C-alpha cells in the first residue's frame, strides 16, 4: 500500500508486469484521488520477498496473492488491475477472489493477449537474450541494467517471470463474473485491437475497450488519462 486512505470507496489491487516489483505502480498510485486506495503486489524474489520460493505457475502465484489479501477483503469493494504478465495474474486472482470471497467489482487489464491466446514467445536461453528483451520492452532503465548487482537481480526475476508468462494458457470458456476493461495502446507490439477484444470472451459480464496512443508502457506517459479511464468504470 503506497498511500493509506482513511475511507476509500474502492481498493485497486495492482499486479506488476514481467520483471517488475510493487514499486512500479508507485507513480500511478499517487495519481488516484482519495476515493481509491491502491495496493501493489510484490512477487517472489523481489526486495522484501526474496525468501519466498518461486511459484510453479501463474495460478499458484495468484493463489498466494489471494491469501495475502485477506486483511483487505473486508470493507470497500476491490477492483483488480494487471499489465502485461500482470494481466494474466490479475485474471487468475480475480477468479480466485470470486471463488473464495471478496469478488472484485471489475478487472482492468492491458498489454497482454487474452488468457486463451498463446504468446508464441521465443526461447530466451542466455542472459543477453533476457537483457535484449528488457531493453526492447523499455520497462527498465538502461543505466540500471548496466549495474552488476541490479543486473543479477533483474535477470533472476525476469527468467522466473518469463517462464510463468510464456507457459500460461487457459481454455476459451474460462471466465470471470465481473466486468472487464481492456486498456489498449495504439503501438503495443504484444497486443493489437483484435487480440484485446478477445478478452470479451473471458467475462460473463460487460466488456469495455479503452484506447490510448503510445507503446507497451503507455500508462507511464499518460497516467492521468489512464487513471481517468479506471475512475470512469469504478464510477468515482
Q: Which of 21, 40, 84, 114 is catalytic?
A: 84
- H runs (alpha helix) in the chain: 26-31, 58-68, 85-100, 127-137, 142-145, 148-167, 193-197, 218-221, 223-234
User: What is d(CA 111, CA 92) in angstroms, rounded to the nearest whole number?
Assistant: 16
186-to-56, 137, 208, 218, 219 alpha-carbon distances in Å: 33, 15, 16, 9, 12
Return d(Cα 35, Cα 236) in angstroms, integer: 7
Contact between residue 110 and residue 182 where contact means Cβ atoms under 8 Å apart: yes
Q: Comparing C-alpha atoms, which of 111, 64, 94, 71 is closest to residue 177? A: 94
Q: How far apart are CA 142 and CA 83, in angstroms?
A: 21
The reply to whether 84 belongs to the active site is: yes
Grid cell listed for 65: 496473492
Q: Burial of 148 by CB count in 10 Å (0-12 exposed, 13-18 middle, 19+ buried)?
A: exposed
- H/E stretch holding 212 reads strand 207-212
Terminal C-alpha separation, the chain: 20
Catalytic residue set = 84
Amino acid at each position: 500500500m503506497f498511500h493509506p486512505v482513511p475511507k476509500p470507496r474502492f481498493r485497486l489491487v495492482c499486479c506488476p508486469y514481467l520483471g517488475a516489483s510493487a514499486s512500479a505502480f508507485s507513480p500511478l498510485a499517487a495519481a488516484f484521488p482519495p476515493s481509491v486506495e491502491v495496493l501493489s503486489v510484490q512477487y517472489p524474489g523481489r526486495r522484501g520477498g526474496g525468501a519466498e520460493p518461486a511459484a510453479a505457475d501463474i495460478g499458484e502465484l495468484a493463489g498466494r496473492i489471494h491469501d495475502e489479501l485477506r486483511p483487505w477483503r473486508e470493507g470497500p469493494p476491490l477492483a483488480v488491475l494487471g499489465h502485461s504478465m500482470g494481466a494474466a495474474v490479475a485474471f487468475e486472482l480475480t477468479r480466485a477472489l470470486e471463488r473464495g470471497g471478496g469478488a472484485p467489482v471489475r478487472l482492468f487489464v492491458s498489454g497482454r493477449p487474452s488468457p486463451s491466446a498463446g504468446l508464441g514467445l521465443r526461447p530466451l536461453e542466455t542472459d543477453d537474450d533476457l537483457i535484449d528483451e528488457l531493453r526492447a520492452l523499455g520497462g527498465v532503465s538502461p543505466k540500471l541494467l548496466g549495474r552488476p548487482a541490479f543486473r543479477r537481480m533483474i535477470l533472476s526475476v525476469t527468467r522466473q517471470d518469463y517462464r510463468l508468462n510464456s507457459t500460461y494458457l487457459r481454455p476459451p470458456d474460462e471466465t470471470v463474473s465481473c466486468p472487464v476493461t481492456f486498456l489498449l495502446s495504439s503501438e503495443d507490439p504484444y497486443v493489437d485491437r483484435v487480440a484485446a477484444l478477445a478478452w470479451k470472451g473471458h467475462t460473463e459480464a460487460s466488456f469495455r475497450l479503452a484506447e490510448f496512443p503510445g507503446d507497451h508502457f503507455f500508462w507511464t506517459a499518460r497516467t492521468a488519462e489512464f487513471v481517468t479511464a479506471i475512475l470512469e468504470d469504478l464510477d468515482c
